[in-house]
Structure 1
Amino acid sequence: MRTFIAALAGAAALLPALVRATTAQPDPTDAAAPVPAVSVPSALADYQPYRDQKAPPWQELNRAVTSAPGKPGMSHGQMPAGGAGAADNVHGSHHEESAK
């Protein structure tokens, strides 16, 4: 413990000498004060312009979407009419009753 305190005391004694060893900053009000050179990299140094990729014509894209093989779809002509889904639709049955 004594060596630790001695080391702290020695460092405290050297501290004023270390503070004076730093370089003094020039006076900010002096117009003739030397200014260090600043090197700032450009924000656009690594910029690569966007390049459109070759896309197929819209007719080919439409054909690929409308006739996808292996994916059966349901067109409006194939919608169920009065099947099992009709029993779940109870909204229409309320309007069919006559008012008394």
Structure 2
Amino acid sequence: MRMFIAALLSAAALLPSLAHATTTPSDPADASASVPAVSIPSAFAGYRPYRDQKAPTWQALNRAVTSAPAMKGMSHANLPAGSPDANDDKHSAKHGGPAK
């Protein structure tokens, strides 16, 4: 405890000498006062302008979509008329009777 108090007292004794070591700022109204150089990096230093990329035409996009194979199970046009899956209404089978 005595060591702690001694350290605090010595720090308090040195504080006024450190305060006088700072330089006083110059008067802002003095036009002949020297001003330190300030270098600020530009906000646009790493800017790269946007460039449009070559896009395909709408005709090429339509051809790509229409020529793509359908996903399995997405096309119901290929089901034969007499198959059990063609006339199966799974939603209404969950309910007991007709809609009211």
TM-score by length of 2: 0.67
Aligned to 1:7: 7
| Structure 1 segment 5-84 matched on structure 2, within 5 A | 5-71=5-71, 73=74, 84=89
* Map of 2:84 onto structure 1: none
The alpha carbon displacement at 1:42 in A equals: 1.0
Q: Which amino acid aligns with 1:62?
A: N
Considering only aligned residues, what root-mean-square deviation do their CA atoms show, in Å? 2.9
Q: Could you tell me which runs of 5 or more consecutive residues in structure 1 were left unpaired when the two chains were aligned.
A: 75-81, 95-100
Counterpart of 1:78?
A: none
**Once the 2 structures are TM-superposed, how far is the Cα of residue 25 of structure 1 from its aligned partner?**
0.7
Residues 17-69 of structure 1 deviation map (CA, whole Å, 9 limit, x = unaligned): 00000111111222221111111111111111112222222211112223421
Distance 1:28 1:42 in 2: 26
**Structure 2 residue runs without a partner (length 5+):** 76-86
Residue 11 of structure 1 and its aligned partner are, at CA, apart by 0.5
Supply the distance in 2 between the matched residues of 1:50 and 1:7 (Cα, whole angstroms): 61
1:83 to partner: Cα distance: 7.3
Paired residues in the alignment total 87
Percent identical:
61
Structure 1 residue ranges, 4+ long, deviating more than 6 angstroms after superposition: none
The two structures have a TM-score, normalised by structure 1, of 0.67
